[in-house]
C-alpha cells in the first residue's frame, strides 16, 4: 500500500537506504547516498528527491519508492502483494511497465498476487489460481486464460470485462450462487 507502507517521519533517502543498515556489506557507509540516488533514478524518480518526505509524493511515486527499497539488496525474487490496486488506471500502467523493465534489467522474478486478472495476464508467465487458500489451478498464462479447467477459474475469467461489444454479447457469464464454503472444512471434489 503506497499510502501506508512508508514511514512519514523518514526521508526517502532513509527509507530506501534502510536495508543497507541491516546489510552494510551491500553498500558501505560512504557509498550509500550514491546508491540510493541510483535506485531513485532506476525507478524513474529525480535523485535530488532524496531528502523529501513521503507526503510530498503521489501514490505512483510512493509505489516507485517502495520498488526502489525492494531493489536495494539486489534480490532474485520480489513478492508483490496487490502492488497496483490502490492506484488509478493510468498510474497502474506506468508502474506495471516499470516492473516489466526492471524484471529484464535486473533479471528478477516476481510472485505477483492480485485480483485484477488483466494485469496478472500482462505481467505473468505462469499463473496460479487460489480458492479457499489452496492452489486450485496452475499453468502458463495461455493455458489458464484460454483453457481454464477449474470451475472457479472459469467463473473468474467470465467476469473479466471485454471491450469488444460483439465478443461481450456472445460470451457466457458464470454467476456463482450459494455461500462460500468454509476454508476450515472444504467440500470434497
Residue 129 pLDDT grade (very low, low, confident, very high; cuts 50, 70, 90): very high
Q: What are 90-106's pLDDT values in tens digits?
A: 888 899 999 999 999 99
Asked if residue 157 is part of any domain, the answer here is yes
When pLDDT is averaged across residues 63-68 and rounded to a whole number, the result is: 93
Asked if residue 145 is part of any domain, the answer here is yes
Give the C-alpha separation, 189 to 178, whole Å.
17
When pLDDT is averaged across residues 73-86 and rounded to a whole number, the result is: 90
Structural domain harbouring 174? 125-178
Average pLDDT, the chain: 88
Residue 172 has pLDDT above 80, yes or no: no
3-class DSSP state of 165: helix
When pLDDT is averaged across residues 24-31 and rounded to a whole number, the result is: 84
Asked if residue 40 is part of any domain, the answer here is no
Please give the helix or strand (H or E) that residue 112 lies within, else none. strand 109-113
Q: Provide the number of structural domains found in the chain.
A: 1
pLDDT computed for residue 8 by the predictor:
93
Amino acid at each position: 500500500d503506497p499510502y501506508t507502507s512508508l514511514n512519514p517521519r523518514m526521508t526517502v533517502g532513509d527509507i530506501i537506504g534502510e536495508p543497507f543498515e541491516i546489510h552494510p556489506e551491500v553498500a558501505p557507509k560512504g557509498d550509500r547516498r550514491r546508491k540510493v540516488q541510483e535506485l531513485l533514478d532506476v525507478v524513474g524518480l529525480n535523485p535530488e528527491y532524496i531528502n523529501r518526505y513521503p507526503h510530498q509524493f503521489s501514490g505512483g511515486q510512493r509505489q516507485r519508492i517502495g520498488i526502489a527499497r525492494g531493489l536495494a539488496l539486489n534480490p532474485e525474487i520480489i513478492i508483490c502483494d496487490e502492488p497496483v490496486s490502490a492506484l488509478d488506471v493510468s498510474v497502474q500502467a506506468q508502474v506495471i511497465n516499470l516492473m516489466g523493465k526492471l524484471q529484464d534489467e535486473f533479471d528478477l522474478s516476481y510472485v505477483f498476487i492480485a485480483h485484477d486478472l488483466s494485469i496478472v495476464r500482462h505481467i505473468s508467465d505462469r499463473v496460479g489460481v487460489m480458492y479457499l487458500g489452496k492452489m486450485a489451478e496452475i499453468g502458463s498464462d495461455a493455458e489458464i486464460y484460454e483453457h481454464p479447467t477449474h470451475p472457479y477459474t472459469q467463473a473468474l475469467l467470465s467476469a473479466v470485462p471485454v471491450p469488444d461489444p460483439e465478443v461481450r454479447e456472445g460470451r457466457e457469464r458464470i454467476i456463482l450462487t450459494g455461500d462460500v464454503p468454509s476454508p476450515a472444512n472444504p467440500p470434497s471434489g
